[in-house]
Amino acid sequence: MQILESNQGIKPNQGIKAQAALQVKRLLFVGPKPPPIGGSPLTVQAMLEELALYPSIQVTVINTSPAMDVRKKMTGFNFEKIRRSILILPQFIQKIGQCDAVLVFANDLFAITLAPLLLFLARLFHKPFYLKPVGAGLDLFINAQKKPLREYLLFVLRSTDGILTQTRLLKEDLFKLGCTKVHYLPGCRPLSIINLVQKPHTPELRAIFLGHITRLKGPLVLLDALKIVSEISDEKVTCDFYGPIHDEIHDEFLEELKSIPNARYCGVAEAGTGPQLISQYDVLILPTYYDTEGHPGVLIEAMHAGVPVITTQVRTFPELVTNGINGFLVPTQDSFFLAEAIIVMAVDPNLRKGMGKANYLKGREFRADTVVDQMLNIIFPDHSTVKQG
């Protein structure tokens, strides 16, 4: 009688919605948390922090982060990855029965080794299984395989309940490969509160490189461009480098740095300080030529900081940067074109200001609160989620 009385005056549809709002959904989240600091771990951290604001979503995490020094190159099969797989499987078996859905972050190697096993277990327990590929190169990876492995990978992808791609390009390419349950879910960062610091009124352009200092991220290309700027222009440009220096490039980078008086290495930035740090500069420069880049977190952090960017014509970057609007896109591994873009930025403060505003507006699409809300609507489409605050 008490239950009936409490529902008096509530229409049937309203009662169903109220009941759904009170129901807790349990998400098993498999992905890498920091440390080490990097694109995927920071995205996972941003999503988990946002999910914690939803009372009706209970998240259980299986951390797949590698316990290693990020400066060392770790590719292919190795004992560390085998050890991690051995640790992940029993955790997954133990926790899968207590969840309502599974979300797995997976790089290319994970997608062909452990992800199929996790999908098989999810099917045994009748749990929806969603895969979120890391970066934007899964289609390239699939097409590079021989036919038997390629068909196996496509079978696994088509068997999931959904693939959440970081880029629109990967969504389109997977759809062409016959994967129809594909959703675009962009990279994200939390919208940080920026403590506005008055930038010093100096005649030079203050640039920043923020990220892992590896060869493919282009720090040597940037150093060469800075040298060209000093040779062909009277504009004053300084550049600070932040990030862990990987072993593959350590000695060469530091040696080249010595020859560029207007560049310096500033160590590793503290996690979560990216937007605040970038806001103290005039432009962020990312001359990467890593062809499987998705939505680098540092470009999103520059958006949230309202700072324009100079980056490269990697195949997915037009999704982030409209050339001449919120930054410049230059050819990869081309120090001269990069130098020219730097000079244009240095010459015109009003151009930088306008691009910075445009970049901030572009960042709305890549806010963690926006992206997590989209993700929950995909994974729990019939569940009413209400966030605290």
pLDDT at 138 > cutoff 50: yes
Percent of the chain with pLDDT over 90: 77
The pLDDT assigned to 299 comes to 98
Give me the mean pLDDT over the 38-46 stretch: 90
Contact of 118 with 77, CB cutoff 8 Å: no
Note the pLDDT of residue 17: 47
* Residue of 156, 149, 98 whose CA lies nearest to 131: 156
Helix (H) or strand (E) holding 26: strand 25-31
Q: Which two tokens stand for residue 316?
A: 């997915």
205-366, which class in CATH?
Answer: alpha beta
Q: Which CATH class is domain 2-188+367-379?
A: alpha beta
- Which pairs with CB-CB distance under 8 Å and at least 24 residues apart come from 249-258? 249/213, 249/214, 249/215, 249/219, 249/220, 250/71, 252/220, 253/213, 253/219, 253/220, 253/223, 256/220, 256/223, 256/224, 257/223
Band the pLDDT of 68: cuts 50, 70, 90: low
- Tell which wins on pLDDT, 193 or 360: 360
Over residues 300-349, the pLDDT tens digits come to 999 999 999 999 999 999 999 999 999 999 999 999 999 999 999 999 99
Q: Which of 84-93, 97-106, 371-380 has the lowest mean pLDDT?
A: 84-93
Range list for CATH 3.40.50.2000 in the chain: 2-188+367-379, 205-366
> Is pLDDT above 70 for 69?
no
Residue type, 52: A
* Number of C-beta neighbours around residue 31 at 10 A: 23
Tens digits of residue pLDDT in 243-264: 999 999 999 999 999 999 999 9
